[in-house]
Amino acid sequence: MIELVDVTRRYQKGSITTDVLKGVSFRVAAGEYVAIMGASGTGKSTLMNILGALDQPTSGHYRLDGQDIAGMDDDALSALRNRKIGFVFQQFHLLERTSAVTNVLLPLIYRDEEMPDAEARSIRALEAVGLGDRKHYSPGELSGGQQQRVAIARALITDPALLLADEPTGNLDARSGADVLALFGKLNDGGRTIVLVTHDRAVAEHARRIIVLADGRVVADHPVERRRDAAEAVAAAAAGTQGDAATPP
């Protein structure tokens, strides 16, 4: 499904070169739920950009669903992002003053084929994240958790091979964060491959496997022994305790 072989990424700013990734290799099989962890400055974001085909490795190989992205041109990368990857961002990145339905169907407008059922698909995706009754609300009229669920619906509308989430709970309160993680758990139970990038161990422990980055290298890669139960977290957050966010790593 995902295969990284000795991926490096070097940034050149004037005469200063920085090696952010120094040879990262791992595989993720279809249906896995992986958290990539690391403090800031460890190359986490760079890795996430490469996994999302937003950026190219300086050397090494990245194969996604059988396709090697090294050497792809910009248009091919765009098409790959459109068909294979669903993004969920920390800041939601929804279009302001635009209804949830329109936000969700946005990826479909970048396809060449006719999509007469785009709106119906968008509504189905919103229903799948529990927002069927909010489909005509604009982001300003939705809570943070609801906005992130709209973003998840948008990521899912193309039925991507990989759901890639970058600190999806970073801008949310404990309750909404737990909701979002519960949704991820449910999606993974349904067979969806998820890669979640976070600095927060409590969030990472909702996944089935954790890859830890430090200084541009993988320093740990292990299954989660005691997986956190999102439903419990939701209940805990609802009961007024701080839940996940306050749990020490």
Select from 3-11, 93-101, 121-129, 224-232 the region that touches another protein (CB under 8 A). 93-101
CB of 205 to another protein, least distance (A): 27
Residue 114 near another protein by CB under 8 A: yes
Burial class (CB in 10 A: 0-12, 13-18, 19+), 8: middle
Whole-number minimum distance, CB 150 to another protein, in Å? 13
Q: What residues from 189 to 248 belong to the interface with another protein (CB under 8 A)?
A: none
Stretch that binds another protein, among 7-15, 19-27, 92-100, 176-184 (CB under 8 A): 92-100
**Would you say the C-alpha torsion 39, 54, 207, 211 has a positive or negative sign?**
negative
Using CB under 8 A as the binding rule, whether residue 55 contacts another protein is answered as yes
- Using CB under 8 A as the binding rule, whether residue 120 contacts another protein is answered as no
- The CA distance from 36 to 46, in Å, is 12
User: Residue 232's CB: how many other CB atoms inside 10 A?
Assistant: 13
Give the strand pairing for 67-68 and 59-64: antiparallel
Question: What is the identity of the amino acid at 131?
Answer: L
Q: Which residue's CB is nearer to another protein, number 33 or number 87?
A: 87
Rounded to a whole number of angstroms, the minimum distance from the CB of residue 27 to another protein is 24
Q: Using CB under 8 A, which of the segments 31-39, 47-55, 214-222, 237-245 binds another protein?
A: 47-55
Choosing from 18, 30, 68, 78, the residue that interacts with another protein (CB under 8 A) is 78
> Is residue 154 close enough to count as binding another protein by CB under 8 A?
yes
Name residues whose C-beta falls within 8 Å of residue 96's C-beta, 6 or more positions apart in sequence. Answer: 138, 139, 140
Among 184, 214, 178, 187, which residue's Cα sits nearest to residue 199?
Answer: 214
Residue closer to another protein by CB (options 75, 133) is 75
Query: Is 75 near another protein (CB under 8 A)?
Result: yes
| Paired tokens of 182 | 């519960």
Answer yes or no whether residue 18 interacts with another protein by CB under 8 A: no
> Restricting to residues 22-41, which ones interact with another protein according to CB under 8 A?
none
| CA separation for the pair 233, 121 (Å, rounded) | 30
Q: Is 136 in the site for another protein (CB under 8 A)?
A: no
By CB under 8 A, which span of 76-84, 170-178, 188-196, 201-209 interacts with another protein? 76-84
C-alpha to C-alpha distances, 134 to 140, 145, 150, 179, nearest whole angstrom: 12, 13, 9, 16
| Angle 103-107-113 from CA coordinates, rounded to 5° | 130
Site residues, another protein (CB under 8 A): 49, 52, 54-55, 74-75, 78-79, 81-83, 87, 89, 91, 93, 95-98, 102, 106-107, 109-112, 114, 154
